[in-house]
Structure 1
Amino acid sequence: MTIFTRIIVSNLPKRIGALKTLQQCGYCTHLKYAEHKPIERIRNIGISAHIDSGKTTLTERILFYTGRIAQMHEVRGKDNVGATMDSMELERQRGITIQSAATYTIWKDYNINIIDTPGHVDFTVEVERALRVLDGAVLVLCAVGGVQSQTLTVNRQMKRYNVPCLAFINKLDRTGANPYRVLSHMRSKMNHNAAFIQLPIGVESNCKGIVDLVTEKAIYFEGNHGMELRYDEIPKDMRAESVDRRQELIEHLSNVDDKLGELFLEEKTPTEADIKSAIRRTCIKRTFTPVMVGTALKNKGVQPLLDGVLDYLPNPGEVENVAFIEKEGEEPEKVVLNPARDGKDPFISLAFKLEAGRFGQLTYLRCYQGKLQKGDNIFNARTNKKVRVARLVRLHSNNMEDVNEVYAGDIFALFGVDCASGDTFTTDPKGNISMESIFVPEPVVSMAIKPNNAKDRDNFAKAVARFTKEDPTFHFFYDPDVKETLVSGMGELHLEIYAQRMEREYGCPVTLGKPKVAFRETLVSACEFDYLHKKQSGGSGQYARIIGIMEPLPADQNTVLEFVDETMGTNVPKQFVPGVEKGFREMAERGMLSGHKLSGIRFRLQDGGHHIVDSSELAFMLAAHGAVKDVFQSGSWQILEPIMMVEVTAPEEFQGAVMGQLSKRHGIITGTDGAEGWFTVYAEVPLNDMFGYAGELRSSTQGKGEFTMEYSRYSPCLPDVQEQIVRQYQESQGLGQEKKKKKN
């Protein structure tokens, strides 16, 4: 027996009490995680949901029931310990998850890698990169809140990476819990072909257990912390409903599964095995979402959920993962990776998360093919740099365990690897193979930042270097025009958290200025240009002429820039066209109306002229500068602002006040919802009008209201807002010119 197994076993009898065998709690004494297991016995799952749906509490229960931890602690517990996966002090203090945390455990002889992700939209990139490397997910929904704004975001992310999921309706013990309403929202708002595979035996304070519709048994959770599962007959008052819901489940499955559909048409009664295999097939194809129920806080429904993960979510061998072989001058060739755990194929893995650890940079990776051993050399496909693997670890929150080798399907970490998030690592540097990277959303809020004390500048620089490397949505730059250092992120909370971390972790208190919104400038209508750039005063001359049109793109493409070369013949030699594009994109970095970036514009180069001696790429780049300036003078321009999808939930008596506040902030109400004395308002509000809303909402709803917002799109701002932005920019430019004159 190993030391690791001995520690776990020594703790188990203290907690199990009435259980006589270790097998009953799902833990196997004769196998440990690091052993080489067949791919069928591996699951890589994420726990994803809206804020405050109970993800971290659920993960804590999973770790406890699988024997991974000896005691359970609450997210905002009175013992000041906090949940295992919230290892950061700031997470425990605020009661929210800020960083995704990885762990692993064993349930019924299956290895389960788990990533607990944040629910707040400000930390959405943590969910994004976790889902990129996972094979399946548990979508947690609150039985009271149901499908909320971040639930829809997570759903879109799962769709982007084709991640199969099963739903777990949590918090059945809360007042106002209604899992049936949540299921109807899953079907209407998320377009899921979903059905219950479990029913609750009572809700709120009467929550006693669950009915399993597949096995047609009632499950009760008894003993210390609900560790003893008692299987019984379905209660008499629930038998009729159970029959109806089981039939509904079979109908939903029959619509998307041919095998069960045939049985349904032949009016044969499917067996338990038929239903289970149909759920697994359709869940992996993402054509059906099984819905399970429970309450993690009250220790009900977690063990059946773990069984559901094993029964219905795919193993790494059932998910197709692809890489691309880069060939010069050709389209990349698509290659399906081999997930076999025999180690015969070349090693391929993806770095999906970076973190500054005690021993240097800690890089989280997912192995997709082959195997990696301690002491091997691996190559970064992007930089072609060689790295020797000195130490291989598996992570349990902020704790590590050394391993000697990892195989396809494993999630692990390395130290001292210089790379970026989304880099591919392989043992074959000549293969030119790389995997698709991770989608990173653009930051929407910028704030001025500066250290309070000049002596803290070194620590400030270290903190910024670390955080910008760890988090691709956290940007840092210096604006020479306003003479300010700016940070950009996904929201005010996002930037506030990093400011607090600088003070706590680096002893560098900072001041954040008023948020600056990322406005954009665009053309209202097409505008022609014909610009001649000519310079012949001493030395080699410059000559370039360009003719074309700048025009606005459709509203659904107003965040992109396009350059189109429509030239024919040799008036503009092809070697100079990149210079024109470069000049256009340089000018697009800073508009002349308000100093913000240009977007939603297509630059069509149609004709021009060149000189056999004096023309160069630089000349054509400067001609593009001049052409854009001309269009600024003659064209009609407007400012675009980011519009946010806002979801506000509060008690019904405050509905009028909340809707009035949103209207005052130029919000457009898109829908309302209400149940059990609470209402939810859905609105689209300009981001520029949302600052300070959190305090206003709290004061007007006696602290009971809460809201979430996420980026929706860019839209033209109101004329008075545009006028104000332009005036402020002109004043700041005038001030800048005066300062320059004084210096001279």
Structure 2
Amino acid sequence: MSTDLTKIRNIGVIAHIDAGKTTTTERMLYVSGARHRAGEVDRGTTTTDDDAEEQERGITIYSACVQFPWKDVNINLIDTPGHVDFTAEVERSLRVLDGAVVVFSAREGVEAQSETVWRQANKYKVPRVAFINKLDREGANFENVFDEIENRLGAHPLALQIPAGLGPQHVADPFRGIVDLVTMKLLTFPEGKEGREIVAEDVPEELLPEAQLWREKLLETLYDYSNELMELALSEEPIPAALIHKVVREATIHLQVQPVLCGSALHGIGVQQVLDAVAAYLPHPLEMPPVVGTEPVVEGGKRKGAAEDTPPKKLVRKPDPAEPFCGLVFKILPFKTGDLYWVRVYSGEINPNSRVLNAGKNFKENVSQLWRIHATKKDEQLQHAQAGDIVALLGLRESVTGDTLCDTRAPIVLESIEFPETVISVAVEAENSTEKKKLGQMLEMLKKQDPTFRFEDNEETGQTLISGMGELHLEVIQHRLERDFGLKIKVHKPRVSYRETIAGPAVVTGECNRLINGAQHTAAVRLKVEPYTPSGPLAAKLPPVTVSIDPNHGLPNEFLCVVIEELESAIAGSGTLGFPLMRLKVTLLGGDVHETDATEIAFRTAANLAVDKGLREAGVVLLEPIMRLELSTPEEHVGDLVGDLQQRRAIIHKTELRGTDTVLHAEAPLANLFGYSSAMRSLSQGRASCSMAPSGYAPAPEEVLKVFLGED
């Protein structure tokens, strides 16, 4: 039986670490009746943090999906990590979701990872509501956080609620409830975290002036989106709550505003209203634009019936069970009976014991079972799934994250999921040959599950280099290998993922004049190499290195194609120091074609020699990864922390006051930040906190380059 798609909400909970995402999710499950008791992060009893590592650390590492009813809608909710090392979990979740709840701490406000997840939501055009949490904390400030959402995130926040009081019970005016600006009622929660009761009463006299100011601001914003609302205001007629809800919904779905709610998830204040907002303002699958894909490439690298240079034909699938099936694999989890493939179904229907096409790779997969997901495990076997559903498939073998599954008779390739490059590596070594074989198998499995994890074997040293997004990421991988898989491994010192570019332009010629197996091979290739940094709105999607062709190159097509292929292969590899190249442009200027001895081998060799020569003559520049830091500390520890940051080659861009703390905004090389968390805690007696996010790459100092050149 088909589900009413207007009653489905596919949402994610996203935020900076420690803003209260998992606590909010637990409270949602409790108030909806899906759980009889709300779990607590500190006790390791939450539903979505069901991994031993998550419970031990008190943080979310893996995204988890839960389904529960709220009033007349069914909510598929994905709880995501807040730590920058696990940002891929947020990326793949937002790729398949229709809406999001963004949680902010009322004390810390908009933090570094808050900016990252907001940008990710912008990238995938995800409508969202904001929840300002922890209003019961010392130093909580609703207005400051509201302003930061607007100014730091470039958002359009729309306050639907304001807090009644701020801070813990011992202050003069503690946080005790929320004022609903639509109904102009004070909502209190007398049973606290153990109950679900809400008491609505008229706004008290002392809160009325502030509430009226915020309501005016709300209505003035909404006038821009509704003539009907404007006309009622001009004629001084009462504005019905239903009309306000309707206008807010339309503006939210079209990404024009982001409704802001407030409360304290830990104490059970305001979570029901967040769920009401999810149902009222976030879109159902039918309100999302049809998913757009392309016609797949078939064997031979061509599209069916298309010329070689024809751009891919765009295909559209509406969120309709009557359309041909298509879905996107966005997560893979191991299971004893086979890997679980999490899939968002965008169109059509899928049933157990069916066969689907992996259109991007042109092979067919068997779907033996369908399961509803609960946290990170399968929960209930399904006999049917349709457009709008998020389900787990059992039986697939070769598909990976980002692959499109579709009807074998109606192929389509959806846009895949792009993940950031790794920034840090460590060498791991198995104790013996048996362990080494098992290590390889386990790493292959982890790579399939985690798109930001990489590994490669070094035959000379016998070590395996594993790469990830940060120290914590690699630490979690190491613990999984030791604890979950019982491997005995040695872990060596972390190393940074450097990159290379060139200092300036150079014009060079690569020549091949060789006798191979009795045959002469002669060719010359002229190139220009130069530094290049993509700019403009599409810069993020452009490759880090690029090849272009001078229109007056003069090479015949048979050799031109060979040279371009070889140049692309050469610059996609390593540079002079053995690190990947970036910010580099190679232009083919031309070449010499010998009358009798010009061969494909000669041109390939000449192209490679020209690239090597160009990189040497242009001068090597070592690029190191830079991290953006946001450090919050009491005033008395600022001096010690600034001194330590300067020793780590950090550049402090600005300082600001946030409540009673000083916040430092800085950038520092990743290579100098190993073990920084421990040093920071030691210097601040455990009172400072820090968040990091990748900022980009910058030239490394001369002394660092000399180490790699062997001059030091």
Check whether TM > 0.5: yes
3-state secondary structure, aligned to 2:189? strand
Distance 1:434 1:468 in 2: 23
> Is residue 2:343 matched to residue 1:365?
yes
Q: Deviations over 1:123-152 (max 9, x none)?
A: 000000000000000000011111000000
Amino acid in the other structure paired with 1:490:
M
Shift of 1:593: 4.1
TM-fit CA distance, 1:591: 5.0
Displacement after TM superposition at 1:520 (Å): 1.7
The answer as to whether partners of 1:531 and 1:623 remain within 8 angstroms in 2 is yes
Comparing 218-227 with 597-606, which one deviates more in the overlay? 218-227
Cα separation, partners in 2 of 1:639 and 1:267, compared to 1, 3 Å: farther
Q: Is the 8 A contact 1:194 1:252 kept in 2?
A: no
Alpha carbons 1:105, 1:111 under 8 Å: kept = yes
The 8 Å contact of residues 640 and 717 in structure 1, kept in 2 or not, is answered as: yes
Rate the CA distance shift 1:664–1:572 in 2: closer, same or farther, 3 A. same
Q: What secondary structure does 1:596 align onto?
A: coil
Q: Tell me, what secondary structure is at the counterpart of 2:61?
A: coil
> What is the SS of the residue equivalent to 1:541?
strand
Aligned residues: 688
Asked if structure 2 preserves the Cα contact closer than 8 Å seen for 1:253 and 1:288, the reply is no
1:261 is displaced (CA, Å) by: 4.9
Shift of 1:483: 5.9
Worse-matched range after superposition: 596-605 or 571-580: 571-580
**Scaled by the length of structure 1, what TM-score is found?**
0.89
Distance 1:349 1:355 in 2: 17
Q: CA deviation at 1:592?
A: 5.6
Instruction: Tell me the residue number matched to 1:114.
Output: 77
* TM-aligned CA distance change 1:248 to 1:456, over 3 Å: same
Q: What corresponds to 1:15 in structure 2? A: none
Residue 20 of structure 1 is matched in structure 2 by: none
- Residues 180 and 323 (structure 1 numbering): CA distance in 2 closer, same or farther, change over 3 Å? same
Residue matched to 1:47 = 13
Deviation at 1:282? 0.9
How do 1:32-111 residues align onto structure 2 when only pairs under 5 Å count? Answer: 36-77=2-43, 81-111=44-74
Give the distance between the partners of 2:514 and 2:700, measured in 1 at CA: 40
Question: Which of residues 352, 369, 385 is equivalent to 1:391?
Answer: 369
Q: Is the 8 A contact 1:589 1:598 kept in 2?
A: yes
Which residue among 276, 290, 299 is the counterpart of 2:268?
A: 299
Distance 1:667 1:468 in 2: 33
Counterparts of residues 168-247 of structure 1 (less than 5 Å): 168-204=131-167, 205=169, 206-223=174-191, 225-247=194-216
Does 1:494 find its partner at 2:494? Answer: no
Instruction: Specify which of 620, 643, 654 is matched with residue 637 of structure 1.
Output: 620
Unaligned runs of 5+ in 1: 1-34, 732-744
* Letter of the structure 1 residue corresponding to residue 547 of structure 2: F
- Of residues 655, 658, 682, the one that matches 1:699 is 682
Instruction: Please report how far the alpha carbon of residue 635 of structure 1 lies from its aligned counterpart in structure 2 after TM superposition.
Output: 2.4
Report the secondary structure of 2:212's partner residue.
Answer: helix
Counterparts of 1:703 and 1:604 in 2: how far apart (Å)?
54
Does the C-alpha gap of structure 1 residues 60 and 399 become closer, same or farther in structure 2, counting only changes over 3 Å?
A: farther
2:707 is equivalent to residue 724 of structure 1: yes
Preserved CA contact (<8 Å) 2:329 2:403? yes
Q: Which amino acid aligns with 1:676?
A: G
Q: Give the aligned partner of residue 632 of structure 2.
A: 649
CA gap 1:478/1:564 in 2 versus in 1, 3 angstroms: same
Shift of 1:384: 3.0
Specify the alignment match of 1:314 in structure 2. 283
Distance in 2 between the 1:105 and 1:63 partners? 7
What secondary structure, in the 3-state scheme, does the structure 2 residue paired with 1:504 have? Answer: helix
Residue in structure 1 matched with residue 129 of structure 2 by the alignment: 166
**How far apart are residue 420 of structure 1 and its match?**
0.8
Cα distance, 1:634–1:335 mapped onto 2, change above 3 Å: closer
- CA 1:719/1:620 → structure 2, altered by over 3 Å: closer, same or farther? same
**Partner in structure 2 of residue 12 of structure 1:** none
| Structure 1 residue aligned with 2:318 | 338
Hey, what's the Cα distance between the residues in 1 that align with 2:388 and 2:575? 52
Q: Whole-Å Cα distance in 1 between the matches of residues 96 and 476 of structure 2?
A: 26
Give the Cα separation in 2 of the matches to 1:431 and 1:612.
50
Matches within 5 A, 1:369-518: 369-397=347-375, 398-418=377-397, 419-427=399-407, 429-479=408-458, 484-518=463-497
Q: Distance in 1 between matches of 2:328 and 2:452?
A: 19
Distance in 1 between the 2:550 and 2:54 partners? 54
CA distance in 2, matches of 1:613, 1:315: 67
What SS does the aligned partner of 1:688 have? Answer: helix
Which moves more between the two structures, 431-440 or 114-123? 431-440
Q: CA deviation at 1:670?
A: 1.7
Aligned equivalent of 1:249, options 218, 228, 232: 218
Deviations 1:57-87 (A, max 9, x none): 111111111111222220111xxx5201011
CA-to-aligned-CA distance 1:583-614 (integer Å, 9 cap, x gap):
33444356564221222111111111223553
Tell me which residue corresponds to 1:742. Answer: none
Partner Cα separation in structure 1 for residue 3 and residue 112 of structure 2? 39
Q: Sort the Cα spacing of 1:350 and 1:262 in 2 relative to 1 into closer, same or farther, 3 A.
A: farther
Q: Do structure 1's residue 676 and structure 2's residue 639 form an aligned pair?
A: no
Alignment partners' CA distance in 2, 1:266 and 1:667: 59
Deviations 1:85-138 (A, max 9, x none): 011111101111110001100011211000000000100000000000000000
Distance 2:256 2:154 in 1: 10
Match of 1:527 in 2: 506
The residue aligned with 2:691 is 708
Equivalent residue, structure 1, for 2:577: 594
Contact 2:627 2:668 in 1 (8 A): yes
Measured after TM superposition, the shift of residue 212 of structure 1 is 0.7
The separation in 1 between residues aligned to 2:4 and 2:189, in whole angstroms, is: 32
Q: Which residue of 2 aligns with 1:10?
A: none
Greater shift, 523-532 or 86-95, is seen at: 523-532
CA 1:395–1:572 in 2, change beyond 3 Å: closer, same or farther? Answer: same
CA distance in 2, matches of 1:178, 1:114: 28
Q: What is the identity, as a one-letter code, of the residue corresponding to 1:488?
A: S
Deviation at 1:217, TM superposition (A): 1.1
Given residue 404 of structure 2, which amino acid in structure 1 is its aligned partner?
T
Question: Take 1:587 and 1:385, find their aligned partners in 2: how far apart are those partners?
Answer: 30
- 2:230 and 2:695 map into 1 onto residues whose CA distance is 39
Q: Aligned partner of 2:683: which letter?
A: S
Q: Is the 1:53–1:141 Cα contact (8 Å) retained in structure 2?
A: yes
Query: 2:333: which partner in 1?
Result: 355
Instruction: Provide the residue aligned with 1:566 in structure 2.
Output: 550
Counterpart position of 1:3: none
In 1, distance between residues paired with 2:464 and 2:126?
39
TM-score (norm. length: structure 2) = 0.93
TM-fit CA distance, 1:624 = 1.6
Q: Name the stretch that deviates more: 548-557 or 154-163.
A: 548-557
- Answering whether residue 673 of structure 2 is matched by residue 690 of structure 1, we say yes
User: C-alpha distance in 2, partners of 1:681/1:236?
Assistant: 40
More displaced stretch, 121-130 vs 609-618: 609-618
For 1:598, what is the secondary structure of its paired residue? coil
Measured against aligned partners, the alpha-carbon deviations of 1:225-259 in whole angstroms (never above 9, x if no partner) come to 13111111112211111100000111223345555
Q: How does 1:243-282 map to 2 (within 5 A)?
A: 243-256=212-225, 259-261=228-230, 263=232, 269-282=238-251
Identity of aligned residues (%): 36
8 A contact 1:345–1:369 mirrored in 2:
yes
> What amino acid sits opposite 1:463 in the alignment?
M
